[in-house]
Amino acid sequence: MNEIIWAKNIDKSFHVGTQDVSILKNLSFETHAGDFLIIYGPSGCGKSTLLHIILGLEPPTHGQIQVLSHNIYNLSEDDRADFRKRHIGMVYQQANWIRSLTVVENVAFPLTLLGEERLSTLAKAEKMLARLAMKDWASYIPTELSSGQQQKIALARALISDPELIIADEPTGNLDFDSGQELMHLLTELNNQGKTILMVTHDLEYLKFAKTAIHMFNGEIKDEYTDHKLQALLKEIKSKRGNGEALKTP
Ligand SMILES: Nc1ncnc2c1ncn2[C@@H]1O[C@H](COP(=O)(O)OP(=O)(O)OP(=O)(O)O)[C@@H](O)[C@H]1O
Ligand SMILES: [Mg+2]
């Protein structure tokens, strides 16, 4: 199968003072091309730490990880950075902008880093903005835009190098309900066009957009949901909401 991520028995601990604190415990999972995987769990359960491992930013303490069939931690740090730039698009809760550059220049920037010539990068960035219906904002400075608009620009920047995998860490965290839904619909559209999406959230509201869901709790995978099991979970969430129960991550 086309494994995009393959993780086996991942442990991660951090040295804090004189102690090793265990954050991720024996995580194994895989995701395949075309998946829309949502990893959900409460604040502090280790979601971002797991993403950092997948991104090649933080080696696991134990265990194996392959991204697009590459043993990324066998690569040098420079090669890992290059791999990330070419194959993974990232969207965070809050985008980091180069403040001296316009929207279109920020979107083009990853291609500049890959050594592409300026005019061609700008032409591609304009096309990408048009695809996300954001062309009218091309010459603004990103921070002049609303949070929802900035997240769409961040998505354009993540997509510019045509990566196989989009990783989004709480991309809706700063957005109101409508902007959050709009961003999720855009991600769904990209998924329908063949992009594999891995998104992390603590908000159960977004699970309805997933094809697969992984519930993380206290550094462990508590459960995995696909097909009928995912539908049953969504039904349960809906009925709890209907009863006015708080939609808290378990
Ligand atoms: N570099 C580090 N050194 C020490 N502890 C760390 C480090 N990075 C993360 N942690 C700890 O790991 C735990 C998990 O953090 P992580 O950021 O992965 O959680 P999260 O699930 O993404 O939470 P949130 O939903 O709030 O973003 C936290 O207790 C955090 O303090
Ligand atoms: Mg996090």
Q: 159 lies in a domain?
A: no
Ligand nearest to the CA of 168: 2
- CA–CA separation, 31 vs 121, rounded Å? 31
Q: 115 lies in a domain?
A: no
Q: 138 lies in a domain?
A: no
46 ligand 1 Cβ < 6 A: yes
Atom nearest to 16 CA in ligand 1: 4
Residue 246 confidence (pLDDT) above 80 = no
Per-residue pLDDT at 2: 78
Q: 192 lies in a domain?
A: yes
Specify the number of domains making up the chain: 1
Q: 230 lies in a domain?
A: yes
How many residues are given for the chain? 250
**CATH number of residue 214's parent domain:** 3.40.50.300
**Residue nearest atom 4 in ligand 1 by C-alpha distance:** 14
Q: 248 lies in a domain?
A: no
Q: 155 lies in a domain?
A: no
% of the chain residues with pLDDT over 90: 94
Domain that holds residue 225: 3-92+164-242
Ligand nearest to the CA of 24: 1
- CA–CA separation, 181 vs 201, rounded Å? 14
Per-residue pLDDT at 240: 85
202 ligand 1 Cβ < 6 A: yes
Residue 202 confidence (pLDDT) above 80 = yes
Residue 102 confidence (pLDDT) above 90 = yes
Mean pLDDT of the chain: 95
Q: 98 lies in a domain?
A: no
47 ligand 1 Cβ < 6 A: yes
Angle between the N-to-C axes of helices 147-159 and 177-192, in degrees from 0 to 180, rounded to the nearest 10: 20
- CA–CA separation, 133 vs 127, rounded Å? 10
- pLDDT interval class at 11 (50, 70, 90): very high
- pLDDT interval class at 243 (50, 70, 90): confident
User: How much is the pTM?
Assistant: 0.95
